[in-house]
Amino acid sequence: MSIDGLSNVPVRRGTTINLRVEAETRDLIDDAASVLGKTRTEFMIDTARHHAIDVLLDQRLFVLDDARHAAFVAALDAPPVARPRLSALMERKPARER
């Protein structure tokens, strides 16, 4: 295969993902894909990609209104609360060094 008639440039293909699903699940996916005018593969890739992005963004991005943002920034800017037991623990020599 070639790109733009260049016989020495191979066409890159994606990697294969094999899945085993019950017939009912496959039929459900096929019905949803059909409603959107997509193939099963297109539907599954689009859906999985969107869900993966959402999962990753949930771990990295959060949105606050102005009041909550101000409270969040104030909490970050505030000096730490004194925690004597934590300070004492941090000053102790680790067990591996005793």
Query: Pick the residue with more confidence: 14 or 20?
Result: 20
Q: What is the pTM of this model?
A: 0.52
3-class SS of residue 3: strand
- Confidence grade of residue 76 (pLDDT, cut at 50, 70, 90): very high
Average pLDDT across the chain, whole number: 88
Instruction: Give the Cα separation of 18 and 82 in Å (integer).
Output: 54
Number of Cβ within a 10 Å radius of residue 43: 19
pLDDT at 71: 96
Instruction: Give the Cα separation of 44 and 19 in Å (integer).
Output: 11
- Confidence grade of residue 2 (pLDDT, cut at 50, 70, 90): very low
